[in-house]
Structure 1
Amino acid sequence: MTQLIEKYAGNVPRYTSYPTAPHYHAGIGNNEYIRWLGDLNETDRLSLYLHIPYCDRLCWFCACHTKQTRQYAPVRAYLAALEAEIRTVGRHVSRSAKVTAIHLGGGSPTLLEADDVIQLHRTLAQNFDFADEVEISVEMDPNDMDASRYDALAAIGMSRASLGVQDFDPRVQQTINRIQTFEQTKSVVDEVRLRGVRSVNCDIVYGLPHQTMDSLVRTVEHIVSLAPDRIALFGYAHVPWMKKHQTMIDDSTLPDAAMRFELMTVASRMLVDTGYLAIGIDHFALPGDSLAIAANNGHLKRNFQGYTDDEATTIIGLGASSIGSFRQGYIQNIPATGQYEKKVLSGELAAVRGIEVDDTDRMRRWVIERIMCDFSFSFRELGHEFGIGASTILAECQALCTDDQLISIKGDRFEIAPEARPFARSIAAKFDAYLASGAGRHSMAV
């Protein structure tokens, strides 16, 4: 196993998009965005991602676009801009395209006051057409929650609650500036279920500073006792060159690649042994959960929220730094909140960069997604989707199989051996035509 870790545990993208974000460029902006929005029609199903880039505390481990605020005034000003963007985007989208999913992410969306949660949902409903059933998922910080916020989230129809836990060990929490007790977490799970939320997701992170096998095992045991429908087991992404607050974490307190792999392996085994099904490289779900069903029937997808069963054909990103995904490519908003607010309050869209994809990009995106989701793909399906261009991928697969015994072609399928599945990111990277350009630095693959 040591040789596997040395071979595969390099720094590679997480492949929540392809091409990945470091390759977006300023040549794609508002003009392309308006055209792509205008091309949406009755065949399209939309997923809306709303980014709330504020927290009332800054966790040192976090790699999200967010900032700390102890005052609500900046949040209120940002919401005014976000609603302006929603109205502008809505004017460019045909009402025949139905919204099937809404995701509130951050930052900490739950720091929004109850009335603002309801108003934000009202603005969305006024500017987009919702399908009969809309999946609404919200990332929740237990430290934000009170009765009015629970009731507001229930009022807008929240159907999935997502709670970041990381590790319950006090020393780990102190080091990453994320104090959150098991009792707080349990209270959130109980309250949302009491209000009819049908799905709860919990995030666990391995590879944190001062994390030990014992602390992670205790955390997994606590989480399993809550019986969440889904659990994500993420490797800590230490990227201080991108996120300066991560310099607050002493590199010497982080586990090495071998220890990270052991932490991941033990936690994964515990989850499977308690009845969860392994989904992709880092998700777990109860057998009756829609994510497990999607994985079993070959409909699992991967996007900016990780693994998903969302059938939407388009993601529209709303808010500072948000990324949208279209048939034609990807578009990202201005990351800086001040510049974003100025732009959208003037009635404009806030796209600042992106990338347009061609048929070769779409083919490689399909291959990478199937590797990340299924650890295999069918050459017959590849050829059906992309025609003669698929021969290029076949040749690359044959070359890879010659060099690596853990990758094989069996009949119609390219397959990764079970022992190499934790390294799917590194294997998917073999099909990334952009990676060699050197744009961007990435986190460790395990």
Structure 2
Amino acid sequence: MHPDLVARYAAPVPRYTSYPTAPHFHAGIGPDDYAVWLGEHDGPLSLYLHMPFCDRLCWYCGCHTKQVKRYDPLAAYLDALLLEIGLVAAALKERREVIAIHFGGGSPTMIAPKDLQRLREALDEHFDIIGNCEISVEIDPGFVDEEKLTAWRDFGVTRASIGVQDFDEAVQKAINRPQSFEQTAFVVGTLRELGIGGVNLDIVYGLPNQTMESVERTIELSLAMKPDRFAIFGYAHVPWMKKHQTLIDEQALPGVQDRFAMAGLVSERLAQAGYLAVGIDHFAKPGDSLAAALEAGEVHRNFQGYTTDAAPGLVGLGASSIGKVGRGYVQNIVATGEYMRSVKESRLPVLRGKELTDIDRVVGAAIEDLMCAYAFSVSDLERRFGPAASVLRPEAAQVHQQDGDGMTAFDGDLFSVTPEGQAFVRTIASRFDRYLGQGAARHSVAV
């Protein structure tokens, strides 16, 4: 692809794990609003539990987390998390089924086995966790052993996402994340021995000192472990948001053209290995549940990326967590101390949120369809959302008419992204974003 075209479509835009995106949440939504929304919710839920602590601070990380040397802060935080679970359950009015649980961080595997058991007991006390509930956890292979992995098996984990990033030592040194292939392979092997069948590997391109050769070697080593899924992320360099990223040498970062080439190399290599591409950054082995959802047209996208989770409500638990229930989005207090004070005072720890308008719901659904299937149907959206969806027809026509690069197609009903445009679907989706450009939000590049 021509370099000028890549450069033009790589302009910074959101990742669209929500719409409206988090920078447009505001403090006008608070605990009382969230309590009402929870009380109105009907149907099953999925849960996201955030652990904002790490054994080490990786310089590339964009998550809300901090390094700790002692367990005491985690123990106190977990006590608060149990209180929040009770507050949410009380606001729901009725017991709800839970069909998916995801632990993110930070490093959730820092939780001691005895505290993990307490956490499971609290969830069982307040919710009905269905028998085939997918329970997933993010793992840093450098800080787990068989005892901890066994505790997660006993908790009920069915899927683990293992951070790899890059196996090249020069890259690892540049991002402060030493991690050998042997460490990673040990964790993958132990998970399978324990009966945890779903193994995902996370790879990052666009890191400092990364080359096409290092990326290809990382993919080859990763394929040797035969994961069920890959998540391939472009490094988001946002030092204005994450100050520790200033420790990364910007001169060592690959440029836009190199990033595009790395992403293409990974996609080509995984396709050759038989993996199916799911959206912009996930790949699933045939037979995996995400591959089945792709074939059925039932892939979804939320703050955890591409998922089979179809629950009508997502409850975020823990500091900085984001959820979507009923009328809109809410985000918890980010600072752990303030979060803990709020729940100890029996207040839902909401920092900000966004109540959705009818147009927000329509545009959000269209963008999710683009991100998951590279297309949306106006008539389908009209069936789902009523007359409000009709605004998309002239907008889709305009976006297509202004496309002089062959990136889109529109037949009056179906708006689609051509194969040439699929690498830039975030940029194309942004053309329907009514909030983009409002406020001071800054984003990472789109490749």
Q: TM-score, normalised by structure 1?
A: 0.98
Partner deviation per Cα, 1:216-257 (whole Å, 9 max, x = no partner): 000000111111110011000000000000000011110110
Query: Matches of 1:45 and 1:390 in 2, distance apart?
Result: 26
Query: Matches of 1:391 and 1:360 in 2, distance apart?
Result: 10
How far is 1:170 from its partner? 0.3
Query: Matches of 2:153 and 2:93 in 1, distance apart?
Result: 28
Partner deviation per Cα, 1:174-201 (whole Å, 9 max, x = no partner): 1100111111111111111111112111
Query: Matches of 1:89 and 1:402 in 2, distance apart?
Result: 47
Query: Matches of 1:4 and 1:420 in 2, distance apart?
Result: 10
Query: Matches of 1:5 and 1:32 in 2, distance apart?
Result: 43
How far is 1:419 from its partner? 1.3
Matches within 5 A, 1:205-284: 205-284=204-283
How far is 1:385 from its partner? 1.6
- 2:160 corresponds to 1:157: no
How far is 1:94 from its partner? 3.7
SS at 1:436 equivalent:
coil
CA contact (8 A) 1:12 1:444 kept: yes
Counterpart residue identity of residue 325, structure 1? K
Q: Which runs of 5+ in 1 are unaligned?
A: none
- 2:137 corresponds to 1:138: yes
SS at 1:437 equivalent:
coil
Query: Matches of 2:282 and 2:77 in 1, distance apart?
Result: 32
Match of 1:103 in 2: 102
Partner deviation per Cα, 1:56-100 (whole Å, 9 max, x = no partner): 100000000000001111111111111111111111124442111
Match of 2:378 in 1: 379
Match of 2:12 in 1: 11
- 2:378 corresponds to 1:412: no
RMSD of aligned residue pairs (Cα, Å): 1.1
Partner deviation per Cα, 1:195-220 (whole Å, 9 max, x = no partner): 11121111000000000110000000
How far is 1:131 from its partner? 1.9
CA contact (8 A) 1:201 1:230 kept: yes
Match of 2:352 in 1: 353
Aligned residues: 444
Partner deviation per Cα, 1:91-121 (whole Å, 9 max, x = no partner): 1124442111111110000011111111111
Matches within 5 A, 1:77-96: 77-96=76-95
Query: Matches of 1:132 and 1:269 in 2, distance apart?
Result: 37
SS at 2:56 equivalent:
coil
SS at 1:431 equivalent:
coil
Matches within 5 A, 1:246-325: 246-325=245-324
Query: Matches of 2:152 and 2:118 in 1, distance apart?
Result: 11
Query: Matches of 1:119 and 1:352 in 2, distance apart?
Result: 27
Judge which range, 130-139 or 402-411, deviates more: 402-411
Partner deviation per Cα, 1:259-294 (whole Å, 9 max, x = no partner): 000000011100000000001001000111111111
SS at 2:77 equivalent:
helix
CA contact (8 A) 1:58 1:177 kept: yes
Match of 2:60 in 1: 61
CA contact (8 A) 2:41 2:325 kept: no
Query: Matches of 1:332 and 1:222 in 2, distance apart?
Result: 38
CA contact (8 A) 2:393 2:412 kept: no
- Percent identity among equivalent residues? 52
Query: Matches of 1:52 and 1:355 in 2, distance apart?
Result: 23
Match of 1:37 in 2: 38
SS at 1:135 equivalent:
strand
Counterpart residue identity of residue 402, structure 1? Q
SS at 1:210 equivalent:
coil
Q: Which runs of 5+ in 2 are unaligned?
A: none
Query: Matches of 1:401 and 1:346 in 2, distance apart?
Result: 53
CA contact (8 A) 2:397 2:412 kept: no
Query: Matches of 2:385 and 2:315 in 1, distance apart?
Result: 26
How far is 1:158 from its partner? 0.5
Match of 1:21 in 2: 22
Query: Matches of 2:335 and 2:188 in 1, distance apart?
Result: 33
CA contact (8 A) 2:16 2:367 kept: yes
Judge which range, 167-176 or 2-11, deviates more: 2-11
CA contact (8 A) 2:54 2:107 kept: yes
CA contact (8 A) 1:45 1:311 kept: no
Q: TM-score, normalised by structure 2?
A: 0.98
